[in-house]
Amino acid sequence: MIDAPYDCIVIGAGPAGLSASLFLARYLRRILTFHHNSPRNEYAHGVHGFLGHDGIRPGELLARGRDEVTSYGGLIIEACVNTVEKISSERFRVVVDSEGTEPRAFEARRLLLATGLRDLTPDCPGFREFYGSSVHHCPDCDGYEVKDKRVAVLARDDNAGAFTANLLTWTRNITLLTDGGEISNDARAKLGGLDVAIRTESIVALEGDTSKRQLQRVLFSGGEPLECDALFFNLGTEPATNFHETLGCRLDPECGLVWVDDTQQTSVDGVYAAGDITPQSQLAVVAAAEGAMAAIHIHRSLIPNERRI
Ligand SMILES: Cc1cc2nc3c(=O)[nH]c(=O)nc-3n(C[C@H](O)[C@H](O)[C@H](O)COP(=O)(O)OP(=O)(O)OC[C@H]3O[C@@H](n4cnc5c(N)ncnc54)[C@H](O)[C@@H]3O)c2cc1C
């Protein structure tokens, strides 16, 4: 049996989904939020730059958010959404799996995709021990923490130059590691002019003090290890789900993420998107702001005509 349709189903309970759910619950909307507990920053030691909560542990921020949503009557279910479908102009169906139970269907008049991205991460031994503490992927999030430190940057493609140069904001002691990959002669010359060292050997392992999650050196297939205090990597991302494709949402031609208009609505009527899967900066506070904007416009879109003056 299917519950009566919800006003909105929110898929994802990271900063974007929870912020949207909080506003929707405060608008007295009947909402249902799904997550399977895999926010993008689950490995991070702290969320930086979130006003009023700078440095808060990611798990704590989300736990507080879930409590706030449920305190206003929002329903949050931990379950993996497997399929999404538009079944009529004003009706969406999602099917979820939770451990040990039969798949179950839920319906709603609006759908918010807040499913985030997955980072493509290095696969060398040692990576997991330091990730989120002294190995990072986001200069905006953790650049300040490496001020004046010895930083290694792992990047292989055309973005390597710009990504590396960005870190010069905080430190002049940077070595770019291409891990066997190539970078353009232009980027190589520019980085050389900025005193950035470049090493091209394949990375074999990361080593350090695992009890403190402190990286100390990078080991290579040949040559001396590189002593360093932190490593930033830039190996790309991918959407955590393909629901936007299933629903036929248009992608932003420049970055390939889900295109939204200035109400956070995708190219499919009634389907909204917020957070990392949309083209803005990939920051928790931006995701939360987009979630709030999506909620405001979802609520407005549900107001009946007779109440529009
Ligand atoms: C290591 C690390 C450190 C970071 N540090 C910072 C920082 O210091 N400051 C900062 O501002 N930002 C930081 N970020 C970026 C920040 O975490 C993201 O911008 C933010 O989490 C994006 O929020 P989101 O809600 O869009 O997605 P996410 O937080 O990734 O949440 C996605 C949600 O979707 C759910 N989901 C996905 N698929 C399904 C499915 N099929 N069914 C049900 N639920 C599903 C997940 O369970 C999760 O609840 C960091 C990221 C990483 C990886």
Burial letters for 24-41: b for 16+ Cβ neighbours within 10 Å, e otherwise? bbebebbbbbbbbeebbb
Atom of ligand 1 nearest to the CA of 80: 42
Residue whose entry in the numeric block shows the structure tokens 């990392």 = 276
Q: Are 274 and 298 in contact (CB under 8 A)?
A: no
Mutating to test ligand 1, I would choose from 138, 247, 257 the residue with most ligand atoms within 8 A of its C-beta, which is 138
User: pLDDT tens for residues 232-273?
Assistant: 999 999 999 999 999 999 999 999 999 999 999 999 999 999
- State the CB neighbour count (10 A cutoff) for residue 208: 21
- What value does the mean pLDDT take over residues 84-109? 91
Find the residues whose C-beta lies inside 6 A of ligand 1: 11-17, 34-41, 43-44, 47-50, 80-81, 114-116, 119, 132, 138, 141, 240-241, 275-276, 282-285, 287
Q: In one letter, which amino acid is 85?
A: E
**pLDDT confidence tier of residue 192, bands split at 50, 70 and 90:** very high
User: H/E/C letters for each residue in 20-41?
Assistant: HHHHHHHCCCCEEEEECCCCCC
Kindly give the distance from the C-alpha atom of residue 15 to the centroid of ligand 1, in angstroms, as a whole number: 7
Nearest CA-CA partner of 187 in 203, 173, 176: 176
**Mean pLDDT over the full length of the chain:** 94
Q: What is the pLDDT of residue 179?
A: 95
Least confident among 58-67, 84-93, 154-163: 154-163
From 9, 69, 115, the mutation candidate for ligand 1 (largest count of ligand atoms within 8 A of CB) is: 115
DSSP state of 9: E
Supply 97's token pair.
């799996």
Element (H, E) at 271: strand 271-273
92: enclosing H helix or E strand = strand 91-97
- Residue nearest to ligand 1 atom 27, measured at CA: 116
Q: Which atom of ligand 1 is nearest to the CA of 291?
A: 25
Spacing, Cα 116 to ligand 1 middle (Å): 5
Q: Which ligand 1 atom minimizes the distance to the CA of 132?
A: 1
The amino acid that residue 295 corresponds to is A
- Per-residue pLDDT, 134: 97
The DSSP output letter for 202 is P
DSSP-assigned letter for residue 13: -
Among 215, 235, 232, residue whose Cα is nearest residue 126: 215
Answer positive or negative: Cα dihedral of 99, 103, 105, 111. Answer: positive
Per-residue buried b or exposed e for 284-301, using 16+ beta carbons within 10 Å of the residue's own CB: bbbbbbbbbbbbbbbbeb
**C-beta separation of 237 from 248 below 8 A:** no
Q: Whose CA is nearest to atom 15 of ligand 1?
A: 283
